Amino acid sequence: MTAVPKTAPTTLTEQAPAKLNLFLGVTPQVEGGKHQLVTVFTTINLADRLTFAFKASPTSGGARPRGAAAPGFAHDEALAAKAGAVTIETRFALGVEAFELPLEHNIIYKTVRAFEQETGKTLEGGLHITLDKRIPAQGGLGGGSSDSAATIRALARYWGIDPTCPPCLKVARQMGSDVLFFLYGGCALMGGSGDVLLRQLPQPALDIVLVKPTVGVSTVEAYREFDANPQPLPAVEPLVAALEKAAEKGQAAIAPEPLTPPPANADRAASGSSLPASLAPALANNLYPAARALLPELEQLLSALQRQAGIARALLTGSGSTVFALCADAATAQAAQAALVQQGYWAQTCTTLSHAGSSSLNSTQLV
């Protein structure tokens, strides 16, 4: 086994922010079982939190007792999983539907084992991971992928290696197409199956409301529906140009610090609703018709959001089922959220983040 660095911490915390697809253009071309596409990802301040507790010796047998729930988390939704030296406990935020997976199917567990395999850095003792889950599943928000990237970052910090070194990037690609993006975060133009970083983009400073129907959309089923009824590939260049123009006007943050909020509220107020309005025509998702065929409710939801005052554009993120709306300001987002919650939806206000991957983000900046 590889010796643990003398300075290795015993506990690490990583934030795992969600993402939105400001643009998604899927092609009929399939390579290695994955559709080729072009997408613009952006991180937002809705985030899971992962705490990694490294132990000096392997954990003993027996179930781990459940502790008190963290603030904002339901005590009766604490789930624990164990296999060998790695245990995972998931605590679901109130309003986020709980789910349980066999440990060997948990992407966090698979990431730990793949990291050991690819880097040769093997845990000598036990590792207990606590996941505070705020990102709903089957929402197109990339929660599982972001958790995987957070795990890569944590293990890289523990061993004192670069999380973007070739072995870590190989792990990211093994775990999922958008895991690599989450290692970098911010706003980026991605190609391939979503795993090729084409270029970093200026991060727009946006106030957003998210809403997710009770029913999710299966990514596999969405792509199957797309194959049955392929859609034209939209042009990404208008969005790239709009983001660059926004940066020139001071309406975007170009990753000043890891996982910090975008420009101050004064900057948001100065831009007013001009930024959402300038980006709105360039947003696109040609996977939406496939998702709508599987979940017709999406059409009514998008239409209702689009009619609300102060909302520049509403769009499906990824394969869904989460819909996001660009709002003129935080007050508009909050009003929309309140109305949606009254209708029984999971809804959340959020803002964009300039960069992902730091454990130093103050918890008050997360939602």
**Nearest partner of 267 among 240, 246, 241, judged by Cα:** 246
Helix, strand, coil percent content, the chain, rounded in steps of 5: 35, 30, 40
pLDDT for res 366: 52
CA distance 200 to 197: 8
pLDDT for res 199: 95
Residues of the chain with pLDDT under 70: 1-7, 57-84, 252-273, 354-367
**Cα 310 from chain centroid (whole Å):** 25
Residues identified as active-site? 19, 178
295 CB-near residues (< 8 Å, 6+ apart): 213, 215, 217, 320, 321
Q: Classify residue 334 as left (phi > 0), alpha (psi -120 to 50) or beta.
A: alpha
Q: What is the pLDDT of residues 105-150, one digit of tens each?
A: 999 999 999 999 999 998 888 899 999 999 999 899 999 999 999 9
Cα torsion 70, 71, 75, 79 to 10°: value is -40
| Tokens found for residue 332 | 């508009």
What is the CATH class of 203-351? alpha beta
Distances (CA, A) of 306 to 206, 268, 271, 278, 341: 17, 21, 21, 15, 17
The CATH code that applies to domain 11-201 is 3.30.230.10
CA distance 325 to 29: 30
pTM across the whole model: 0.86
Each domain of the chain, given as residue ranges in start order, spans: 11-201, 203-351
40 CB-near residues (< 8 Å, 6+ apart): 21, 22, 23, 187, 188, 189, 190, 201, 236, 239, 240, 243
Q: Give, as one character, the DSSP assignment of residue 356.
A: -
228 CB-near residues (< 8 Å, 6+ apart): none
Instruction: Identify the residue whose tokens are 């769009």.
Output: 315
CA distance 96 to 136: 6
pLDDT for res 305: 95
pLDDT for res 367: 55
Do residues 201 and 240 lie in contact, with contact meaning Cβ atoms separated by under 8 Å? Answer: yes
pLDDT for res 78: 47
pLDDT for res 83: 40
